[in-house]
């Protein structure tokens, strides 16, 4: 049988797999259907038992697990050692990693450790054969696509772009082989002085609907229209950097290259020009609706639905309709 497609995931204190790992399993499943390779999964954490059951339901036929209390918090040194051990045990050449706050540290270090290569922001794997693997990735903040041809003699660590695939449907009747691996870990070389705590409640990066506003809103008060429409659609508000810099919206709501990356089913952009740095954070939305008074605004190149009009007239109308 050909070598497997391996999905790697860190299991944090919640003991659950995150959205990135679910998307990676969906991506792996699509690839498996096209290539006949089995999907396997490596879990690294302090307690992987419920995550093992979950990834099995989501299609992993073999689950490698490394458990240690030192792995409860993400630590680059130990994560890379554990992941490298799993990659060599599985013999995988294609290693998939979904969105996670630490991928920028983890993926390049892992690829170096296993003497392989890595590609970030991957949207598709075109071909896998004995000579090479062809991988498509989003570059220039999502404004263009690049196609990489990677020599098949070495493993490739693939960092997936958010929403590169949908999570698979769970099948509770699935079963998997479970392989428990052991590893001697290091005491952390990084000392955490103050731990940042994530806000409670829904997270912008996971929102299914995002309504964003930009400088076309004219002033800070009008951002209330964006919040209200987001609220009525049961979504979350977002903002361009231009208006975050003007203090019309908080930095936690900024979408883009230097803000949050979102991949919702619906993205409404009101009074946003569509600069590449903004689109880097939202171009993966499944449906983009743009409201802009300038018919030549760049956002219309990305939009599925374009409304050429004053957003200060359109937003209140949409709010009224939804009410």
Ligand X SMILES: Cc1cc2nc3c(=O)[nH]c(=O)nc-3n(C[C@H](O)[C@H](O)[C@H](O)COP(=O)(O)OP(=O)(O)OC[C@H]3O[C@@H](n4cnc5c(N)ncnc54)[C@H](O)[C@@H]3O)c2cc1C
Report the interface residues with ligand X, using CB under 6 A.
214-216, 240-243, 254-259, 271-273, 275, 277-278, 281, 291-294, 297, 310-312
Name the minimum Å distance from CB 67 to ligand X.
Answer: 37
Name the minimum Å distance from CB 270 to ligand X.
Answer: 7
Nearer to ligand X, 59 or 271 (CB): 271
Nearer to ligand X, 10 or 278 (CB): 278
Tokens coding 67:
């458990």
Alpha helices (runs of H) in the chain, residue ranges in sequence order: 19-35, 49-57, 76-90, 103-113, 223-232, 241-245, 276-279, 299-302, 311-322
- How far is C-alpha 320 from the chain's CA centre? 34
Nearer to ligand X, 58 or 280 (CB): 280
Name the minimum Å distance from CB 148 to ligand X.
Answer: 24
Name the minimum Å distance from CB 218 to ligand X.
Answer: 6
Nearer to ligand X, 26 or 162 (CB): 162
SS3 annotation, 109-175? HHHHHCCCEEEEEEEEEEEECCCEEEEEEEEHHHCEEEEEEEECCCCEEEEECCCCCCCCCCCCCCC
Nearer to ligand X, 117 or 273 (CB): 273
Tokens coding 294:
């300038």
Nearer to ligand X, 79 or 297 (CB): 297
- How far is C-alpha 308 from the chain's CA centre? 31
51 and 16 in contact (C-beta within 8 Å)?
yes
Name the minimum Å distance from CB 246 to ligand X.
Answer: 9
Name the minimum Å distance from CB 286 to ligand X.
Answer: 20
Strand pairing class (144-151; 156-160): unpaired
Q: How far apart are CA 280 and CA 297, in angstroms?
A: 16
Q: How far apart are CA 171 and CA 209, in angstroms?
A: 27
Strand pairing class (177-180; 62-67): parallel
Name the minimum Å distance from CB 141 to ligand X.
Answer: 8
Nearer to ligand X, 141 or 168 (CB): 141
Q: Which residues contact 280 (CB under 8 A, 6 or more apart)?
A: 141, 142, 143, 256, 257, 261
């Amino acid at each position: 049988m050909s070598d497997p497609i391996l999905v790697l995931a860190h299991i944090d204190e919640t003991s659950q797999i995150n959205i990135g790992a679910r998307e990676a399993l969906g991506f792996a499943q699509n690839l498996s259907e096209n290539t006949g390779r089995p999907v396997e999964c490596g879990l690294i954490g302090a307690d992987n038992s419920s995550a093992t059951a979950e990834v099995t339901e989501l299609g992993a036929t073999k689950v490698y697990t490394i458990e240690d209390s030192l792995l409860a918090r993400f630590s680059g040194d130990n994560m890379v050692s554990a992941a490298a051990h799993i990659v060599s045990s599985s013999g995988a050449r294609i290693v998939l990693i979904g969105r996670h706050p630490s991928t920028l540290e983890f993926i390049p270090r892992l690829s170096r450790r296993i003497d392989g290569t890595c590609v970030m922001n991957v949207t598709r794997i075109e071909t896998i054969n004995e000579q090479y693997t062809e991988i498509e990735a989003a570059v220039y903040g999502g404004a263009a696509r690049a196609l990489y041809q990677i020599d098949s003699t070495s493993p490739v660590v693939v960092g997936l772009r958010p929403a590169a695939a949908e999570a698979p449907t769970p099948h509770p009747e699935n079963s998997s082989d479970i392989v428990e691996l052991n590893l001697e870990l290091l005491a952390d070389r990084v000392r955490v002085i103050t731990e940042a705590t994530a806000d409670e409640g829904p997270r912008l990066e996971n929102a299914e609907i995002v309504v964003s506003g930009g400088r076309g809103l004219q002033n800070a008060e009008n951002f209330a229209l964006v919040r209200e429409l987001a609220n009525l659609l049961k979504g979350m508000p977002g903002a361009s950097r231009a208006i975050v810099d003007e203090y019309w919206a908080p930095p936690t709501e900024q979408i883009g290259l230097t803000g949050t990356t979102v991949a919702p089913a619906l993205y409404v952009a009101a009074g946003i020009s569509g600069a590449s740095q903004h689109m880097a954070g939202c171009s993966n939305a499944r449906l983009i609706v743009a409201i802009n008074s300038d018919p030549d605004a760049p956002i219309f190149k990305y939009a599925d639905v374009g409304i050429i009009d004053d957003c200060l007239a359109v937003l209140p109308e949409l709010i009224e309709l939804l009410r």
